[in-house]
């Protein structure tokens, strides 16, 4: 247990030195950028330095809880330099598509996190929140959310053609890359979120409606649990276990 949170075996917050090691030696920013795609123009990035871990460079104590937007950059190397400067617990990208500063579309996404399911042992999210463990989750919850991710993917595949699953470090994200999905209006997104919630899926509706436009950057580090944000094929999910899957375990944990 860390800072009141409990996680499955082997998961724990990353230290500043471990974040530095990951982003200086292991992180491939070009791979992450290519995953997003270059069809949406200049991408805005963001970092959260230490909101959930309370681990941050002392010189950024005043900004530890803030969401810092990175949009004034000339190259990917410059963005990576910002990341190495802040050593954040999380790196994100903005799903909005901009043209001349105006929002002209947004990537549709579904965020499924294990702490949002009802666990037979630990109870609901509200139960855990009352104990100060709102971000905690166990292996049972992880299995439940994995099964929900597969079911939701299969349901969405009846409507959309370009779906991508990403292990977020805790749960899973489903990204919809169909062009028509980028053009959905706010009311249409709200209707989709409401429909999916009514079906019993533990999604974060703010992500689907677009009110929360940031989402974790693939191949970055989830510093709360020391797991790499990892894209996966639908066929891989059933046997995927982030506790011991080499693809999502950073090198700083492998050589300890």
Question: Could you say which DSSP state residue 98 is in?
Answer: E
Q: Which pairing describes strands 90-94 and 67-70: parallel, antiparallel, or unpaired? A: unpaired
pTM reported for the whole predicted model: 0.95
Predicted confidence at residue 256, as pLDDT, reads 64
| pLDDT in the model for residue 37 | 81
* Homologous superfamily (CATH) for 16-254: DNA primase, PRIM domain (3.90.920.10)
pLDDT in tens, 144-173: 999 999 999 999 999 999 999 999 999 999
pLDDT tens digits, residue range 7-26?
Answer: 999 999 999 999 999 999 99
DSSP string, 157-219: TTT-S-EEEEE-SSSEEEEE--HHHHT--HHHHHHHHHHHHHTT--B-HHHHHTSS-EEEPTT
Q: Where is pLDDT greater, at 55 or 256?
A: 55
- Tell me the mean pLDDT in the region 209-216: 96
Give the per-residue pLDDT at 131. 84
Q: What angle do CA 181, 160, 174 make, to 5 degrees?
A: 80
Query: Which residues lie below 8 Å from residue 181, measured CB to CB, with a gap of 6+?
Result: 107, 108, 160
Give the model's pLDDT for residue 94.
Answer: 96
Q: Is residue 3 scored above 70 in pLDDT?
A: no
d(CA 182, CA 176): 8
């Amino acid at each position: 247990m860390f800072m009141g949170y409990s996680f499955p075996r082997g998961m724990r917050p990353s230290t500043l030195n471990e974040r530095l090691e990951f982003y200086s030696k292991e992180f491939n920013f070009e791979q992450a950028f290519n995953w997003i795609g270059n069809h949406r123009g200049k991408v805005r990035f963001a970092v959260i330095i230490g909101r959930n871990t309370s681990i941050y460079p002392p010189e950024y104590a005043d900004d530890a809880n803030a969401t810092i937007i990175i949009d004034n950059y000339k190259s990917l190397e410059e963005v990576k330099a910002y990341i190495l400067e802040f050593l954040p617990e999380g790196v994100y990208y903005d799903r909005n598509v901009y043209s001349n500063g105006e929002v002209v579309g947004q990537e549709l996404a579904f965020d499924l996190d294990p702490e949002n399911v009802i666990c037979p042992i630990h109870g609901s999210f509200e139960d855990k929140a009352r104990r100060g463990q709102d971000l905690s989750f166990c292996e049972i919850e992880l299995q439940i959310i994995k099964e929900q991710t597969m079911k939701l993917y299969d349901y969405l595949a009846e409507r959309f053609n370009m779906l991508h699953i990403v292990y977020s470090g805790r749960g899973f994200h489903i990204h919809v890359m169909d062009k028509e999905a980028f053009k959905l209006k706010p009311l249409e997104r709200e209707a989709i979120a409401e429909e999916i919630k009514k079906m019993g899926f533990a999604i974060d509706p703010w992500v689907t409606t677009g009110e929360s436009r940031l989402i974790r950057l693939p191949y970055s580090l989830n510093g709360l649990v020391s797991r790499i944000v990892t894209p996966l094929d639908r066929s891989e999910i059933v046997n995927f276990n982030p506790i011991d899957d080499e693809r999502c375990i950073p090198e700083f944990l492998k050589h300890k």
